[in-house]
Amino acid sequence: MNNPVGWFEIYIQEMERAKAFYQAVFDVELTRLESPPGLEMWAFPMQPDSYGAPGALVKMEGCGSGDNSVLVYFSCADCAVQAAKAVKAGGKIHKEKMAIGQYGFIALVVDTEGTMIGLHSMQ
């Protein structure tokens, strides 16, 4: 697995306040991403052919801010496969595989230490 981290999310409670903070600190303009209902996402500038992982600010019911609420996504061929492996390895599924439109699919799992990680795939 080369460069396994393919995405990050910073969970927030107040989108306008969080956007203002990150835009001011990093001198960037965030862009709204098309998202399923109940999910609001604003992405940091993305350069597909550049070094580093893209990411976004996210407001989603049931995912609070603070207390280390940054979510790292690992790239997979099919996120449902890794989600099943996470359960077999002693973890839990927080959110089953779900479609995120043109961006593919995600699943959220909790590791054996109680840390949630994201899994992303295009199928």
Report pLDDT for 46: 83
Residue-averaged pLDDT of the chain: 87
Give the angle 115-3-109 at the CA atoms, nearest 5°: 25
**Stretch (H or E) spanning 121:** strand 116-121
Number of neighbours of residue 7 by Cβ within 10 angstroms: 19
More confident position, 9 or 62: 9
Q: Pseudo-torsion of CA 18, 19, 21, 22, nearest 10°?
A: 110
* pLDDT at position 84 over 70: yes
Strands 70-75 and 55-60: unpaired
DSSP state at residue 63: B
* pLDDT at position 20 over 70: yes
Q: Where along the chain do its domains lie?
A: 5-121
| Dist. CA 105–CA 121, nearest whole Å | 5
Architecture (CATH level 2) of domain 5-121: Roll (3.10)
The pTM (predicted TM-score) of the whole model is: 0.69
